[in-house]
Amino acid sequence: MMSTVDLTRDGEIATLMLNNPGKLNAINLGMWLQLAENMAALSVDRDIRCIVLRGAGSEAFAAGGDLEEFVTARASLEQALHYHGQVAAALNAIADCPHPTIALIQGACIGGGLEIAGVCDLRICNESARFGAPINRLGFSMYPGEMEGLLKLAGAAVMKEILLEGRILNAGEAYEKGLVTRVVPDAQVADEAYATARRICAGAPLVAGWHKQWIRRLQSGRPLNDDEKAASFAFLDTEDYREGLAAFLEKRKPVFKAR
Protein backbone atom coordinates (compact mmCIF):
# COMPACT_ATOMS: atom_id res chain seq x y z
CA MET A 1 0.00 0.00 0.00
CA MET A 2 1.08 3.56 -0.68
CA SER A 3 2.73 5.56 2.07
CA THR A 4 1.80 9.24 1.89
CA VAL A 5 1.60 12.54 3.71
CA ASP A 6 -1.95 13.67 3.01
CA LEU A 7 -2.86 17.38 2.99
CA THR A 8 -6.39 18.55 3.72
CA ARG A 9 -7.77 22.01 4.48
CA ASP A 10 -10.69 23.24 6.54
CA GLY A 11 -10.82 26.99 6.19
CA GLU A 12 -7.73 28.48 7.81
CA ILE A 13 -6.59 25.14 9.27
CA ALA A 14 -4.46 22.72 7.28
CA THR A 15 -3.92 19.10 8.32
CA LEU A 16 -0.94 16.97 7.33
CA MET A 17 -1.60 13.28 7.96
CA LEU A 18 1.20 10.71 8.13
CA ASN A 19 -0.22 7.64 6.43
CA ASN A 20 1.64 4.35 6.14
CA PRO A 21 -0.96 1.59 6.43
CA GLY A 22 0.12 -1.58 8.18
CA LYS A 23 3.27 0.02 9.61
CA LEU A 24 1.81 2.29 12.30
CA ASN A 25 2.59 5.28 10.07
CA ALA A 26 6.34 4.59 10.09
CA ILE A 27 8.01 7.30 8.03
CA ASN A 28 10.05 6.46 4.95
CA LEU A 29 12.22 8.75 2.84
CA GLY A 30 9.42 9.51 0.42
CA MET A 31 7.22 10.66 3.30
CA TRP A 32 10.00 12.87 4.69
CA LEU A 33 10.30 14.51 1.28
CA GLN A 34 6.53 14.98 1.03
CA LEU A 35 6.46 16.45 4.53
CA ALA A 36 9.14 19.00 3.64
CA GLU A 37 7.41 19.94 0.37
CA ASN A 38 4.02 20.38 2.02
CA MET A 39 5.44 22.46 4.85
CA ALA A 40 7.30 24.70 2.38
CA ALA A 41 4.08 25.32 0.44
CA LEU A 42 1.96 25.94 3.53
CA SER A 43 4.54 28.29 5.02
CA VAL A 44 3.94 30.83 2.24
CA ASP A 45 0.18 30.29 2.05
CA ARG A 46 -1.40 33.43 3.52
CA ASP A 47 -4.80 31.73 3.76
CA ILE A 48 -3.51 29.25 6.35
CA ARG A 49 -3.26 30.24 10.02
CA CYS A 50 -2.57 26.92 11.75
CA ILE A 51 -1.28 23.48 10.76
CA VAL A 52 -2.19 20.23 12.53
CA LEU A 53 0.11 17.24 12.06
CA ARG A 54 -1.27 13.81 12.91
CA GLY A 55 -1.10 10.14 12.06
CA ALA A 56 -3.72 8.18 10.17
CA GLY A 57 -6.02 6.16 12.43
CA SER A 58 -5.86 6.10 16.20
CA GLU A 59 -3.07 3.59 16.89
CA ALA A 60 -0.06 5.77 16.12
CA PHE A 61 1.13 9.25 15.37
CA ALA A 62 4.19 7.58 13.85
CA ALA A 63 6.07 4.55 15.13
CA GLY A 64 9.48 5.80 13.99
CA GLY A 65 11.28 5.41 10.69
CA ASP A 66 10.53 2.64 8.22
CA LEU A 67 13.38 0.31 9.22
CA GLU A 68 12.93 -2.01 6.25
CA GLU A 69 14.12 0.84 4.06
CA PHE A 70 17.36 1.28 5.99
CA VAL A 71 18.84 -1.90 4.53
CA THR A 72 18.93 -0.40 1.04
CA ALA A 73 18.51 3.38 1.42
CA ARG A 74 20.91 3.92 4.32
CA ALA A 75 23.57 1.25 3.82
CA SER A 76 26.58 3.50 3.16
CA LEU A 77 27.90 6.73 4.68
CA GLU A 78 26.94 8.65 1.55
CA GLN A 79 23.42 7.25 1.64
CA ALA A 80 23.09 7.90 5.37
CA LEU A 81 24.18 11.54 5.03
CA HIS A 82 21.67 12.08 2.22
CA TYR A 83 18.84 10.24 3.99
CA HIS A 84 19.19 11.97 7.32
CA GLY A 85 19.89 15.31 5.67
CA GLN A 86 16.42 15.01 4.14
CA VAL A 87 14.94 14.10 7.53
CA ALA A 88 16.58 17.14 9.13
CA ALA A 89 15.32 19.34 6.28
CA ALA A 90 11.74 18.21 6.92
CA LEU A 91 12.07 18.84 10.66
CA ASN A 92 13.55 22.28 10.00
CA ALA A 93 10.67 23.08 7.64
CA ILE A 94 8.24 22.43 10.51
CA ALA A 95 10.32 24.31 13.08
CA ASP A 96 10.80 27.33 10.78
CA CYS A 97 7.17 27.55 9.66
CA PRO A 98 5.72 31.01 10.44
CA HIS A 99 2.30 29.47 11.10
CA PRO A 100 1.63 27.81 14.47
CA THR A 101 1.84 24.01 14.35
CA ILE A 102 0.08 21.43 16.51
CA ALA A 103 0.97 17.76 16.84
CA LEU A 104 -2.20 15.72 17.43
CA ILE A 105 -0.79 12.58 19.01
CA GLN A 106 -2.65 9.30 19.40
CA GLY A 107 -0.90 6.09 20.37
CA ALA A 108 2.74 5.50 19.45
CA CYS A 109 4.95 8.55 18.98
CA ILE A 110 8.33 6.92 18.60
CA GLY A 111 11.64 7.84 16.99
CA GLY A 112 10.96 9.97 13.93
CA GLY A 113 7.42 10.54 15.15
CA LEU A 114 8.78 11.99 18.39
CA GLU A 115 11.18 14.15 16.38
CA ILE A 116 8.28 15.60 14.35
CA ALA A 117 6.19 16.24 17.45
CA GLY A 118 9.18 17.84 19.14
CA VAL A 119 9.51 20.60 16.54
CA CYS A 120 5.81 21.48 16.55
CA ASP A 121 4.73 24.47 18.63
CA LEU A 122 2.16 22.53 20.67
CA ARG A 123 1.74 18.80 21.34
CA ILE A 124 -1.68 17.51 22.40
CA CYS A 125 -1.88 13.79 23.12
CA ASN A 126 -4.35 11.22 24.36
CA GLU A 127 -3.95 9.23 27.55
CA SER A 128 -2.97 6.15 25.53
CA ALA A 129 -0.05 7.90 23.84
CA ARG A 130 3.48 6.62 24.40
CA PHE A 131 6.79 8.20 23.60
CA GLY A 132 10.40 7.19 23.13
CA ALA A 133 13.32 6.46 20.83
CA PRO A 134 14.66 2.98 21.68
CA ILE A 135 17.23 3.02 18.89
CA ASN A 136 20.01 1.93 21.25
CA ARG A 137 18.52 -1.55 20.86
CA LEU A 138 18.92 -1.29 17.09
CA GLY A 139 22.58 -0.32 17.21
CA PHE A 140 22.40 3.17 15.74
CA SER A 141 22.43 6.68 17.15
CA MET A 142 20.12 9.62 16.52
CA TYR A 143 21.41 11.99 13.86
CA PRO A 144 22.42 15.31 15.51
CA GLY A 145 20.27 17.28 13.06
CA GLU A 146 17.26 15.29 14.26
CA MET A 147 18.17 15.54 17.93
CA GLU A 148 18.30 19.33 17.97
CA GLY A 149 14.58 20.04 18.21
CA LEU A 150 14.00 17.56 21.02
CA LEU A 151 17.03 18.83 22.91
CA LYS A 152 15.71 22.39 22.76
CA LEU A 153 12.30 21.19 23.90
CA ALA A 154 13.13 18.84 26.76
CA GLY A 155 16.74 19.55 27.71
CA ALA A 156 19.80 17.36 28.03
CA ALA A 157 18.67 15.37 31.07
CA VAL A 158 15.46 14.16 29.42
CA MET A 159 17.25 13.46 26.13
CA LYS A 160 19.80 11.32 27.94
CA GLU A 161 17.03 9.39 29.70
CA ILE A 162 15.23 8.76 26.42
CA LEU A 163 18.30 7.78 24.41
CA LEU A 164 20.44 5.99 27.01
CA GLU A 165 17.65 3.91 28.58
CA GLY A 166 15.57 3.45 25.47
CA ARG A 167 12.52 3.38 27.73
CA ILE A 168 9.02 4.07 26.43
CA LEU A 169 7.22 6.82 28.38
CA ASN A 170 3.50 6.97 28.95
CA ALA A 171 1.53 10.19 28.43
CA GLY A 172 1.74 11.25 32.07
CA GLU A 173 5.52 10.86 32.17
CA ALA A 174 5.88 12.71 28.87
CA TYR A 175 3.85 15.61 30.27
CA GLU A 176 5.89 15.74 33.46
CA LYS A 177 9.10 15.89 31.43
CA GLY A 178 7.85 18.69 29.18
CA LEU A 179 7.52 16.58 26.04
CA VAL A 180 3.83 17.34 25.59
CA THR A 181 1.64 20.40 26.11
CA ARG A 182 -1.59 18.72 27.17
CA VAL A 183 -2.96 15.24 27.87
CA VAL A 184 -6.66 14.59 27.29
CA PRO A 185 -8.91 11.50 27.31
CA ASP A 186 -8.60 9.34 24.23
CA ALA A 187 -12.03 10.21 22.83
CA GLN A 188 -11.43 13.95 23.16
CA VAL A 189 -7.94 14.38 21.71
CA ALA A 190 -8.92 15.29 18.14
CA ASP A 191 -11.61 17.70 19.32
CA GLU A 192 -9.16 19.39 21.69
CA ALA A 193 -6.43 19.70 19.06
CA TYR A 194 -8.76 21.33 16.55
CA ALA A 195 -10.34 23.53 19.23
CA THR A 196 -6.81 24.69 19.99
CA ALA A 197 -6.25 25.40 16.30
CA ARG A 198 -9.43 27.47 16.17
CA ARG A 199 -8.33 29.48 19.21
CA ILE A 200 -5.05 30.21 17.44
CA CYS A 201 -6.91 31.22 14.27
CA ALA A 202 -9.03 33.67 16.27
CA GLY A 203 -5.89 35.69 17.02
CA ALA A 204 -4.00 37.99 14.70
CA PRO A 205 -1.91 35.81 12.35
CA LEU A 206 0.95 38.27 12.01
CA VAL A 207 1.21 38.37 15.79
CA ALA A 208 1.43 34.57 15.96
CA GLY A 209 4.35 34.63 13.55
CA TRP A 210 6.10 37.41 15.48
CA HIS A 211 5.66 35.60 18.77
CA LYS A 212 7.31 32.50 17.28
CA GLN A 213 10.10 34.63 15.83
CA TRP A 214 10.89 36.47 19.07
CA ILE A 215 10.73 33.36 21.24
CA ARG A 216 13.30 31.70 18.98
CA ARG A 217 15.48 34.82 18.96
CA LEU A 218 15.43 35.15 22.75
CA GLN A 219 16.46 31.52 23.13
CA SER A 220 19.82 32.41 21.59
CA GLY A 221 20.76 34.12 24.85
CA ARG A 222 22.11 37.19 23.04
CA PRO A 223 20.68 40.58 24.08
CA LEU A 224 18.51 42.38 21.55
CA ASN A 225 20.14 45.26 19.70
CA ASP A 226 18.40 48.59 19.12
CA ASP A 227 17.22 47.65 15.63
CA GLU A 228 15.63 44.46 16.93
CA LYS A 229 13.92 46.32 19.77
CA ALA A 230 12.44 48.74 17.23
CA ALA A 231 11.42 45.85 14.94
CA SER A 232 9.43 44.30 17.78
CA PHE A 233 6.92 47.15 17.34
CA ALA A 234 6.28 46.44 13.65
CA PHE A 235 2.67 45.70 14.59
CA LEU A 236 2.05 49.46 15.02
CA ASP A 237 1.85 49.84 11.24
CA THR A 238 -0.57 46.97 10.63
CA GLU A 239 -4.28 47.02 9.85
CA ASP A 240 -4.74 44.11 12.25
CA TYR A 241 -3.45 46.19 15.17
CA ARG A 242 -5.92 48.97 14.42
CA GLU A 243 -8.69 46.41 13.97
CA GLY A 244 -7.86 44.65 17.24
CA LEU A 245 -8.00 47.88 19.23
CA ALA A 246 -11.18 49.05 17.52
CA ALA A 247 -12.89 45.70 18.11
CA PHE A 248 -11.95 45.80 21.79
CA LEU A 249 -13.30 49.32 22.24
CA GLU A 250 -16.47 48.51 20.29
CA LYS A 251 -16.95 45.23 22.19
CA ARG A 252 -17.04 43.03 19.09
CA LYS A 253 -14.97 40.22 17.66
CA PRO A 254 -12.02 41.39 15.54
CA VAL A 255 -11.71 40.45 11.88
CA PHE A 256 -8.01 40.02 11.15
CA LYS A 257 -6.69 40.05 7.59
CA ALA A 258 -2.98 39.37 8.11
CA ARG A 259 -1.98 42.83 6.97
Cα(19)–Cα(24) distance, integer angstroms: 8
Residue 1 has pLDDT above 80, yes or no: no
Asked if residue 192 lies in contact with residue 171, where contact means CB atoms within 8 angstroms, the answer is: no
Instruction: Characterise 182 by phi-psi region: left (phi > 0), alpha (psi -120 to 50), beta (else).
Output: beta
Residue 159: pLDDT over 90: yes
157-172 residues labelled b (16+ CB within 10 A) or e (exposed): ebbebbbeeeebbebe
**For the segment 171-208, what is each residue's pLDDT rounded down to a tens digit?**
999 999 999 999 999 999 999 999 999 999 999 989 99
- For 160-217, strand residue ranges (E) read 169-170, 182-184
> Mean pLDDT score of the chain, rounded to an integer?
93
CB atoms within 10 A of CB 76: 9
Q: Report, as an integer, the average pLDDT of 211-218.
A: 91
Q: Is the pLDDT of residue 72 over 70?
A: yes
128-158: per-residue pLDDT in tens?
999 999 989 988 888 898 999 999 999 999 9
